[in-house]
Amino acid sequence: MIHRADQREVHPLQALWGIFFHGVMLFVLPFMVGGIAGAFLEVSEVAETLGVLGSVAFVLIAPIFIAQFLGVVVKTSREVKFLKINGTLTARSALDAAYRNTKLLTSRGYFVFASGIVFVLLSLAFKWASLGVMAVSSLLLFYLVTGASVFLSAFLVRTFEAGMGRDQRGIRREFHPAVGRCGDPIEEKFLLTRVPVMPGYFLAIEDRLPERLDTDVRHVIPPKAGRESTTVGSVVRRTPRGTYEAGPARIWYQDMLGLTQINVASLATAQLKLLPHLSRVEIIEPPRTPLEEPDILTRPDKFPTEDFFRFREYQAGDDTRRLHWKLSMRVGQLQVRLPETREITAKKVVLSLDTWVPKAWLSRTEVIDDLMDALVDVWVSTADQLIKAGEHVTMVAALRGEDGVLRREAIDCSKGQRPKWLDAGARAAWQSEIGVFDLFDEDETPEDAFMIVLTSRLEPVPPDPLPGRRTTWIYLHPSDTIGPPQPSTFDLWLNWQDKPKMSSLEQILRFVQLPHPAGSDENGFGPRFNHWRRRLARRNKRAFIRQEVLKAGERAFGAMLARPDVVYRMQVHPDHYKLIGISSGGGEQREVPPAPTGSTTADHHPAR
């Protein structure tokens, strides 16, 4: 699965109203307000200047209105072509494109426009001609800036979009490096080549990377930067394992007064792939088993020990170093000692990753993606350790390919295949189509193969047996990875930076101190409310999952222990993982150890 940033789609009714208001009412509203107010108010003192001012306003506003209409049609049609090329054209996306291209005003522009309308009403209500001059002058200044933006947008859109994506002109987006290991420093860059930025305007770039990367992108390019190649970049705050797609970013021109903004279509996208780490996997107290052969994860010594428990008569070809001369003289025949441990031969191991979750959980998987990171780390690390031990390992999982189709993939981990199975670890993600028992083909699985399944079940494991010689389950309990109980709604607003602990002074300053530097747009009520709303939605998802895993986790773990298989409980530590043997499938069961205090998958170093 490729993690993509949330698409900012506008509700259709809001888009239709925005197109109507910005396309029509923005130019008609001052005349409507003046006409309606004049019908109910005594306007004899301003009647002498009303006609002249109205005529001047109409002469200036009408060309702007026509240019605005034509510009919207041209820009929307070109953006629709871009969407079609990108394969994302729908009725909804076309409506959003028309809305973005029609919307010219910023919040500051709305304020100036509303102030002009209020001045018009006050001039008519108080019969004050001078105030009417101020009102019309304010509106004329507003429309002049709007008109300049309309005319410049028609020119800039034509030249800017014509070279989009080409080397000689346009914007190119990339991650550096594009492929890395989780936890590595990654920088996102925008390469601007001869992008025009007119005097009195600047180019702004804004985007929000996929949720797991926890990074907002904001860049401002001044006019002088448009004459040459310019590169702007920012460091990705968090780099967990996975594949990510960024873009297209929102790009617009804005005048220096901050009244208008001109949206520009963009196809500048970039992909990032972060491979999992190979971590240390420590096996603590493997489960006791009544069988002579130990579990596949517990490898005996390759060399015979000095302890022997039985003898037999010497046969041709036996190692003469194992002859027991005293016993041979006593019984009158040559006797050899049998080693307690046998010579090791390479075993066939099928190492599978269970990525299945109930369909109802798919909308909440971003909360438990850290859980998948831990499973993948142990998946690839265990494969690496078994390969070094000389075993024949095949890794199996349900993965989504480059074409977006989910399919079962079996990767032969022979020599030189490490990049392939590390890439599989980067592509692993939650899905609800292929269950754990669908990963194994009885015709392809050798009868003498050892099956190892890494899972974090949210529903009990079906009782069906797996093919192969023996099955070992490595279980990571979901309740061990969600972390402490979620904060209240008030605490979520108070601790807006998600600090582990806030002092009393910091809590008091939260009521009087702006969260961002003075003058930042992020201090506004709208951005602060949206930031709090996103964090509240994430908090609610975590609270729901925490509640559900307490019920589903124990039920699933109990069903797994009831199977005649070996079961390990997995624990996440800051610098390694532990596998603790719980059940040997027929032998005694060890008591489940508590999870490490304060340890979560989010604290594990590969996810930083």
Q: Nearest 5°: phi and psi at 571?
A: -125, 140
Residue 509 lies in a domain: no
Q: Which of 183-197, 335-349, 391-405, 417-431 has the least mean pLDDT?
A: 335-349
Residue 496 lies in a domain: no
Those residues with Cβ within 8 angstroms of residue 115's Cβ, 6 or more apart along the chain or in another chain: 138
62 and 175 housed in the same domain = no
366 and 459 housed in the same domain = yes
200: domain CATH number is 2.60.40.10
pLDDT at 99: 85
Helix 418-427 to helix 369-388 angle, to the nearest 10 degrees? 160
436 and 558 housed in the same domain = yes
Residue 132 lies in a domain: yes
**The 3-state secondary structure of 110-157, one letter per residue:** HHHHHHHHHHHHHHHHCCCHHHHHHHHHHHHHHHHHHHHHHHHHHHHH
Which of 151, 185, 218 lies at the terminal end of a domain, its last residue?
A: 151
Residue 479 lies in a domain: yes
Q: Record the pTM.
A: 0.75
Residue 584 lies in a domain: yes
Asked if the bond preceding 606 is cis, omega within 30° of 0, the reply is no
181 and 34 housed in the same domain = no
pLDDT at 161: 47
320 and 377 housed in the same domain = no
pLDDT at 600: 47
Residue 137 lies in a domain: yes
Number of domains in the chain: 4
223 and 107 housed in the same domain = no
Residue 568 or residue 317, greater confidence: 568
Q: Is the pLDDT of residue 302 over 50?
A: no
Query: Percent of the chain beyond pLDDT 70?
Result: 75
Q: Domain range spanning residue 316?
A: 308-339
Count of CB atoms situated within 10 Å of the CB of 372: 25
106 and 190 housed in the same domain = no
Report the alpha-carbon distance of residue 371 to residue 429 in Å, rounded. Answer: 10
The structure tokens 């800036």 sit at 145
Q: Nearest 5°: phi and psi at 578?
A: -120, 135
Asked if the bond preceding 358 is cis, omega within 30° of 0, the reply is no
197 and 263 housed in the same domain = yes
Residue 159 lies in a domain: no
Q: Where does the pLDDT of residue 339 fall: very low under 50, low under 70, confident under 90, or very high at 90 and above? A: low
43 and 130 housed in the same domain = yes
24 and 50 housed in the same domain = yes
Q: Can you list the pairs that 197-202 forms with residues at least 24 positions away whose Cβ atoms lie under 8 Å?
A: 197/221, 197/222, 197/223, 197/224, 197/225, 197/226, 197/253, 198/152, 198/156, 198/223, 198/253, 199/223, 200/148, 200/255, 200/256, 201/152, 201/253, 201/254, 201/255, 201/256, 202/253, 202/254, 202/256
AA identity, residue 180:
G
Q: Is the pLDDT of residue 604 over 50?
A: no
Residue 90 lies in a domain: yes
462 and 578 housed in the same domain = yes
Residue 567 or residue 125, greater confidence: 567
77 and 128 housed in the same domain = yes
Question: Which stretch, 9-18, 135-144, 345-354, 419-428, has highest mean pLDDT?
Answer: 419-428
pLDDT digits over 116-168, tens only? 778 777 777 776 667 767 777 777 777 778 777 877 766 655 544 444 444 46
